[in-house]
């Protein structure tokens, strides 16, 4: 194991902790009765999986080139423009691409995404966010495909995580079925090749 690997693990743990703490403070500042919308990014707002089959000069250029699912984008914009909703993004992505993700969202949405984007190192860690929010906010909508492996042929679901998400009473979960209906013409949900 290189020195870099030894440093990397606690540093990533710190970044996870930091994002979760910012989220907790934000949630704590919301008035009772607020409505929270939590959006995933990959394969939810964007067509991510085809980009994993192409070689890019670096991760940043891959992220900045991602295509948007147009109906999902309209749905999201509708929530952002409604003052009754607080909109956050919760993504399982590398912290290395966090700033370019914020820049990308800000440009695509015409909305300041700073301090509204939270990253986790696994899909399972998203449950901590939902658990914390659901204890304080009465009405939460969670839009997330919670799927993986599509670029390898068959899309699989994070069933264990999905079951736990469905277990939160005040969380309305909108997963692949919802996204598929929303962007039914979208190639990213079709079988690969």
CA neighbor of 173 nearest in space, from 131, 145, 132, 133: 145
Q: Which is nearer to Mg ion, 102 or 157 (CB)?
A: 157
Q: How far is the CB of 104 from Mg ion (least distance, A)?
A: 15
Closer residue to Mg ion in complex, CB, 16/44: 44
Span from 38-46, 66-74, 135-143, 175-183 in contact with Mg ion (CB under 5 A): 38-46
User: What would the two tokens of residue 161 be?
Assistant: 């995580």
Strands in the chain per DSSP E: 35-39, 46-47, 67-68, 85-92, 117-120, 139-143, 147-148, 156-157, 171-174
Based on the shown chain and the rule CB under 5 A, indicate whether residue 43 belongs to the binding site for Mg ion. Answer: yes
Does residue 42 bind Mg ion (CB under 5 A)? yes
Residue 40 in contact with Mg ion, rule: CB under 5 A = yes
Strands (E), 28-109: 35-39, 46-47, 67-68, 85-92
If one asks whether residue 120 binds Mg ion (CB under 5 A), the answer comes out as no
* Residues 128-147, interacting with Mg ion (CB under 5 A): 145
Structure tokens at 40: 């995933």
Nearer to Mg ion, 19 or 40 (CB): 40
Q: Are 97 and 60 in contact (CB under 8 A)?
A: yes
User: Using CB under 5 A as the criterion, which residues of the chain lie in contact with Mg ion when the complex forms?
Assistant: 40, 42-44, 145
């Amino acid at each position: 194991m290189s020195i870099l690997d030894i440093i990397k693990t606690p540093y990533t743990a710190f970044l996870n902790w930091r994002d979760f703490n910012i989220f907790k403070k934000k949630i704590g500042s919301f008035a009772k009765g607020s409505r929270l919308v939590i959006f995933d990014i990959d394969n939810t707002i964007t067509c991510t999986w085809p980009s994993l089959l192409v070689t890019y000069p670096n991760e940043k250029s891959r992220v900045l080139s991602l295509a948007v699912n147009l109906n999902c984008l309209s749905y999201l914009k509708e929530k952002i423009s409604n003052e009754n909703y607080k909109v956050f993004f919760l993504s399982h992505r590398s912290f290395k691409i966090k700033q370019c993700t914020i820049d990308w969202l800000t440009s695509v949405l015409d909305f300041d995404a700073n301090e509204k984007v939270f990253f986790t190192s696994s899909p399972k860690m998203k449950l901590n966010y939902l658990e914390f929010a659901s204890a304080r906010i009465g009405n939460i909508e969670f839009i997330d495909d919670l799927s993986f492996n599509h670029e390898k042929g068959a899309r699989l679901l994070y069933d264990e995580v999905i079951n736990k998400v469905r277990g939160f009473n005040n969380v309305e979960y909108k997963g692949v079925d919802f996204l598929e209906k929303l962007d039914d013409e979208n190639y990213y949900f079709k079988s690969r090749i």
